[in-house]
Structure 1
Amino acid sequence: MGYGSRAEIARLGKVGGIVLDGVDLTDVSRRIPVTPDLAERMVIDGRPVDPPPGLVLILNKPLGMTCSHKEDGALVYDVLPDRWRRRDPSISTIGRLDKQTSGLLLLTDDGDLLHRVISPKRHVAKVYHATLARPLVGTEGALFASGTLVLEGEDKPLAPAVLEPITATEARLTVTEGRYHQVRRMFAAVGNHVEALHRERLGGLALPADLEPGAWRRATEAEVAAIFA
């Protein structure tokens, strides 16, 4: 779970830094089952132990952060506790938002959940709020919904998407695919340019209104289920 090497954990135990069921755990050779209630029973350095594998996080991704483990600059993983980078299995984003896209982003160490969400067979809808450089002309919605639009450099048409105009230069777009820079390229295909892009929803899960940019929290079981609702 990333707290340290065997030697580091041994030193922590010897100085009373690990408490299990109210008692100092100095014998760090003991094997402790990682059960769902462990966070209620174990304290490390004065804080409840981290959640076990099966972790799902909701992040309000701010602009300027990259969904990568390796690229230069600010990464979405930077907002998490540093030790979480050492968890095994590792935490990964469920899909990606590019550096200049903000909004709802999920992270997990549950590989099965990750693949279920991004699988093309699931058709999990992704809803974006786009601010455009030029006014809509009125024909974009029909084209996006037709299932015939082919993006530049590709030969397979996009799945039908739903466009909901908000103002002359703002629209809500719902897509069920996750192609590279898809929303930006869709508007580029109709002669427009996306100046700002924000993801509001993933499946039936909306970005919590109380989650400020850069803030995150654990998703509840109900919220995870809502993705597929």
Structure 2
Amino acid sequence: MRLDKFLSQYTDYSRSQIQQLVKAARVTVNNEVVRKADIKLRGDEQVKLDGQLIVAFAYRYIMLHKPLGYVCANNDSEHPVVVDLLDVPRKQDLQIAGRLDIDTTGLILLTDDGQWNHRITAPKQECSKTYQVITAEPIQQDVISLFAQGVQLHGEKHLTRPAHLEILSSHSARLQIHEGKYHQVKRMFAATGNRVIQLHRESIGNIKLDSQLAPGEYRPLNEIEIQESTQ
């Protein structure tokens, strides 16, 4: 990695400001003053600015209880975005693993670890997602077998992958799917002649939404959650 890229990632300085810092002899690598900001780092050097060691930030893994009305994006011109709910440094660097619609609540994950994000979201990984669903009309028993076989969604060439439906009451159910097509849960119920009026995600893989988190609250994932998230 180039020195200027390293410093721009792990300090609050821009690339142009870093150029000036280097020219002013304020940056050292292995205790030697550097004169060029574009030198290559191997990864084991000690980089200091004004004598202070610059430490690479560790990856961050966050669970957030998404409330209604927020968009799963880093910025939006019309609606509040989920990163607005975070009080963490460099929050615009966080990627959203598992987006939800503006009218859907529940678990979302945020990270700056791109490989981990890919393991969560890549379709071939088949990471499960579990939702609580409330519908406008009663849920018929035959929907269980229909979802288990796969549903033909409007505009799709292939059936959905087998999904597990547990009916909780006449108008509520828990649904586990292993893919993430556009508005999939709503479209699956629409294919049965029903309409989803409330949707809440409980889990992604083995990560369950912490029951202690109120809407809008968040916490870091623990090590077990990070390691077992895609199992």
- 1:1-229 to 2 correspondences below 5 Å: 4-5=12-13, 28-30=49-51, 32-34=53-55, 52-71=57-76, 72-81=78-87, 83-86=89-92, 90-147=93-150, 149-229=151-231
Q: 1:206 & 1:223 partners in 2: Cα distance?
A: 9
Q: 2:186 & 2:12 partners in 1: Cα distance?
A: 42
Give the aligned residue type for 2:79.
G
Q: 1:172 & 1:223 partners in 2: Cα distance?
A: 22
Q: 2:152 & 2:167 partners in 1: Cα distance?
A: 22
Deviation at 1:31, TM superposition (A): 6.0
* Matched residue SS, 1:178: coil
CA contact (8 A) 2:107 2:208 kept: yes
Tell me the matched-pair count: 192
- Segments of 5+ residues of structure 1 without an aligned counterpart are 11-26, 36-51
Give the aligned residue type for 2:213.
L
Q: Identity rate of aligned residues, in percent?
A: 37
- Segments of 5+ residues of structure 2 without an aligned counterpart are 1-8, 21-47
Q: 1:82 & 1:162 partners in 2: Cα distance?
A: 37
Q: 1:201 & 1:55 partners in 2: Cα distance?
A: 19
* Matched residue SS, 1:142: helix
The alignment yields a C-alpha RMSD, in angstroms, of 2.2
Deviation at 1:2, TM superposition (A): 7.5
Give the aligned residue type for 2:147.
F
CA contact (8 A) 1:56 1:106 kept: yes
Q: 1:205 & 1:85 partners in 2: Cα distance?
A: 21
Deviation at 1:138, TM superposition (A): 1.5
CA 1:110–1:64 in 2, change beyond 3 Å: closer, same or farther?
Answer: same
Deviation at 1:209, TM superposition (A): 1.0
Give the aligned residue type for 1:92.
Q
Counterpart in the other structure of 1:45:
none
Give the aligned residue type for 1:78.
D
User: TM-score normalised to the size of structure 1?
Assistant: 0.77
Q: Deviations over 1:60-82 (max 9, x none)?
A: 11111000123221100101137
CA contact (8 A) 1:164 1:171 kept: yes
Give the aligned residue type for 2:183.
H
Deviation at 1:33, TM superposition (A): 4.4
User: TM-score normalised to the size of structure 2?
Assistant: 0.77
